[in-house]
Chains A and B, each alone.
Chain A
Amino acid sequence: MELREKLEILADAAKYDASCASSGSDRKSSAGTKDGIGSTEGMGICHAYAPDGRCISLLKILLTNFCVYDCLYCVNRRSSNVRRARFTPEEVVRLTLGFYRRNYIEGLFLSSGIIQSPDYTMEQLVRVAKMLREDHGFRGYIHLKTIPDASPELLAEAGLYADRLSINIELPSEPSLDRLAPEKDAGAIRRSMGRLRLRIEEAKSSPREPRFAPGGQSTQMIVGADGTDDRGILATSDRLYTGYRLRRVYYSAFSPIPDGSSSLPPGAPPLVREHRLYQADWLMRFYGFDAGEIVPDGGLLDLEIDPKLAWALVNRHRFPVDVNKADRESLLRVPGMGVRTVDRLLSIRRHKAVRLEDLGRLRVQIAKVAPFVTTADPQVGRSLLDRIDLRQRLAPRPAQLALPLFA
């Protein structure tokens, strides 16, 4: 099979993995080396965007889409009729370096179907990373998928060469995983994540320890393939963040796959729900919200408005917040104000009384923020907070997001 054909098959097989991040690793560069190439400088770069709005930062491919597992949500499952291919490690190295030299990518994201055994598969992935680093002096970004319960020696080697490791949790609950991915073992996934966290922290604790995945670990959860509601999903994320210190939990709206299985209803992916989950995830990580207070009683996030606005509308008694006096925690809860805006406000108000025009210059949407704050401007009329139709006034008009193409 031609290399280009393999690339088409094995990139297509990898596109259901949401992560393409190349940020947050150690700093490396090839400056001053005679034979080295590549650098990582903290912030990853998106070199292109596909029409699905996703960033293309890494060459994201599978080493092979042959797989001995039969996970129903996966296009590469054993019983799928999809075309199969397998790269040799040398071919992956050649493509990675060729693309890198032309400035198409930041590095490589390498995953694989399970062939022969978890250890054999992991060994193949590690070999590619090792060749890049040791034979070609490659200092770009490498993200390796980690096979749960692979041997500790292979894991140590993977961490030595990779910037980031990830293990997909796949589904938000253990019963769902048992039902849709009978060969996958939720316990093994959790154990492996725990082991990764210990290794990452050990490596960080002292410069004498061998390098281990300085870009941390991440995971991915499929949304909408099972019946778990948003409360359950966010509770699972919360446990993953606190238990294993993940850098990111990626949410991937279950997308119809060619050659779908009869156990999963085919349909358009719930993109808006995925988007709301990402917003809720940010509220937990950067805005001091608890998983429990974000999701309303029904267990599902509001699809029409963002979770922060939804929370503010049902907690109107906590508003308005005085931007000139309120503490950071209260300001962070104002809809339409981000972490950066809040920190800049705190700095401005040391020197002057903050007015609406100041907020305008901070590039916040005044219409969204105004009902929830008081400024140094004189108050005119009654507060919008008391209006019953506040939600209608603030809800975005539809079609802000690409809605499903066919209902």
Chain B
Amino acid sequence: MHAVELAHPVDFEGWRAAARRMVLADARPEAVDWRVGAQAGLFGDAAAPVVPEAVRNRAFTVPKDFLELAETVVCHRDPARFALLYGLLWRLTHGDPKLLEVVSDRDVHRAEAMARAIRRDIHKMHAFVRFREREGHYLAWFEPDHFIVERAAPFFARRFANMDWSILTPDRSVHWDGETLHFTPGASRAEVPDEDALEDYWRSYYASIFNPARLKIAAMQSEMPRKYWHNLPEARLIAPLIRDAGRRAAAMVESGVTLPAPKSGRWAEAVPDVRAPEPEGGLQACRRCTLWRNATQAVPGEGPMGARLMLVGEQPGDQEDLAGRAFVGPAGQLLDRALAEAGIVRSDCYVTNAVKHFKFTPRGKRRIHQKPDAGEVEHCRWWLAEEVAAVRPRLIVALGATAGRALLRREVAVQRERGAVLRLEEGRSMLLTVHPSYLLRLPDPAAKRAEYDRFVTDLRLATSFAMTP
């Protein structure tokens, strides 16, 4: 039997060095007795094992996860923690290196449960410490379940950097002077003031933010167990709040309806109508088809009245729907590049879409674009006609089949009819080409390049037609 004496309850380094020696000395878990400080061992004083010189420097490795787990578990109050960890170490180094992945193994499960208890204890300390201020110094009394003060303290140092504070607990205390943390032995509650100037305000807040119509006592207790209540200034309100909740909620329901306050218009009169004026002569209010229901907004066209070139796309996409502007997404960026290559300044053109609302279907986390149907295109023609009449372009470039259809009022075959100037009923001219998003979807880089060049060629033709006096 080997006895190992550790310096203090959370002596992780001591445990680690001893455990390493024990593994090298082939000391089986049941033959090691772990003790803290001056605890009397079960078997009197057993000598530490002698590790032969040859193996003393033999290295062995354990997963990093295990060291993290062990460092957490040593904070637990369970006296068996060191033996449990050594048992795990033994199995890890004797043919079971992946043991920690089997979280349903009895020992792994026990260690994990301890680690969880420690994490919860630390979390609750971060949550339920309540400082009381005395002459510029902030003091708190807290009673953790386990040996966690060292592990919980850095959080308070990061958060309350410019305060002088102390947290006193029965086992250990910690102090911060604005620069360093230092630890002292346990203390008593009497060293902390029993009042604070803001506690009445805090209790007022606690009582006011509670909604008596939504009593859920079990939910409160599972997160804020009773054992913490005697150190929480607000906890004395819990019983009376619960007692009166039924009465208060019933009163709200029974008093039911009240008459409007007589002077309710008084401070509203000074305020002008706060609704934004309807932009674009009613486009935002358009309900001709149902696409408005799911879209963010209608996306109007933009550009100078009297522009010689008008570009018509299919419909706004995800980004256009959010920004409320046409061609600002990926397809818009490609269009900008192609226009520049064809010698066209985009801000000289009027840019719009055949359909003004984004049509999509939600899938997972994305909105997938859907092609507008014939009815939707037809309903939206009214707006497109308004724009054409206002802008009076020399040439309209229809980008893709939907735009072509909206302007020609028939099915179009883009690849067959593209690149030629066509006559519209109203005596206007149009030119059909592909939509830039078609170029984005082409998988083959060579085809993409070739198609892009054709697109630029179409745009060059458009500008030479539009600019010819």
User: Do chains A and B interact in one complex?
Assistant: yes
> Which positions in A face B, CB cutoff 8 Å?
3-4, 7-9, 11-12, 14-16, 29-39, 41, 45-56, 59-60, 66, 68, 70, 78-81, 95, 98-99, 101-104, 114-118, 137, 149, 174, 183, 185, 187-188, 190-191, 193-195, 197-198, 238-239, 241-245, 253, 255-262, 266-269, 271, 291, 344, 347-348, 350-352, 354, 357-359, 361-362, 401-402, 405-406
Q: Which residues of B contact A344 (CB under 8 A)?
A: 103
CA–CA, A18 and B116, complex, Å: 29
CA–CA, A4 and B198, complex, Å: 10
Extra contacts, 18 of them, besides A185-B275, A188-B275, A198-B323 (Cβ < 8 A), are A16-B211, A30-B162, A41-B158, A48-B232, A48-B234, A51-B242, A53-B216, A70-B264, A81-B260, A99-B198, A116-B271, A243-B322, A243-B367, A267-B253, A271-B216, A351-B98, A362-B104, A405-B249
Distance in angstroms from B341 CB to nearest chain A CB is 26
Closest to A95 in B: B201
CA–CA, A78 and B271, complex, Å: 13
B140: interface (CB < 8 Å): yes
Decide if B208 touches A185 in the complex (CB within 8 Å): no
Distance in angstroms from B27 CB to nearest chain A CB is 27
Closest to B362 in A: A242
Known contacts A15-B208, A194-B324; A255 and B198 CB within 8 A of each other: no
Decide if A78 touches B265 in the complex (CB within 8 Å): yes
CA–CA, A117 and B362, complex, Å: 35
Known contacts A187-B297, A347-B103, A361-B109; A15 and B211 CB within 8 A of each other: yes
Which of B129, B208, B250, B258 is close to A405, meaning CB atoms less than 8 Å apart?
B250
CA–CA, A118 and B160, complex, Å: 36
Known contacts A8-B204, A260-B258; A266 and B220 CB within 8 A of each other: no
B267: interface (CB < 8 Å): yes
Which range contains the number of B residues in contact with the other chain?
35 or more
Closest to A271 in B: B214
Distance in angstroms from A275 CB to nearest chain B CB is 10
Which of B103, B106, B362 is close to A362, meaning CB atoms less than 8 Å apart?
B103
Q: Which residues of A contact B260 (CB under 8 A)?
A: 79-81
CA–CA, A269 and B252, complex, Å: 12
Which of A53, A149, A242, A245 is close to B219, meaning CB atoms less than 8 Å apart?
A53
Decide if A11 touches B205 in the complex (CB within 8 Å): yes
Decide if A56 touches B209 in the complex (CB within 8 Å): yes
Distance in angstroms from B251 CB to nearest chain A CB is 8
Distance in angstroms from B9 CB to nearest chain A CB is 26
Interface secondary structure of A, over-half rule: loop
B274: interface (CB < 8 Å): yes
Decide if B258 touches A37 in the complex (CB within 8 Å): no
CA–CA, A220 and B363, complex, Å: 22
CA–CA, A194 and B320, complex, Å: 10
Q: Which residues of A contact B297 (CB under 8 A)?
A: 187, 190-191, 194
Decide if B214 touches A53 in the complex (CB within 8 Å): yes
Which of B215, B245, B284 is close to A187, meaning CB atoms less than 8 Å apart?
B284
Q: Which residues of A contact B367 (CB under 8 A)?
A: 242-243
Distance in angstroms from A185 CB to nearest chain B CB is 6
Which of B106, B207, B253 is close to A266, meaning CB atoms less than 8 Å apart?
B253
Q: Which residues of A contact B223 (CB under 8 A)?
A: 46, 49, 55
B440: interface (CB < 8 Å): no
B217: interface (CB < 8 Å): yes
Q: Which residues of B contact A14 (CB under 8 A)?
A: 209
Which of B104, B160, B242, B364 is close to A348, meaning CB atoms less than 8 Å apart?
B104
Closest to B208 in A: A11
Closest to A79 in B: B260
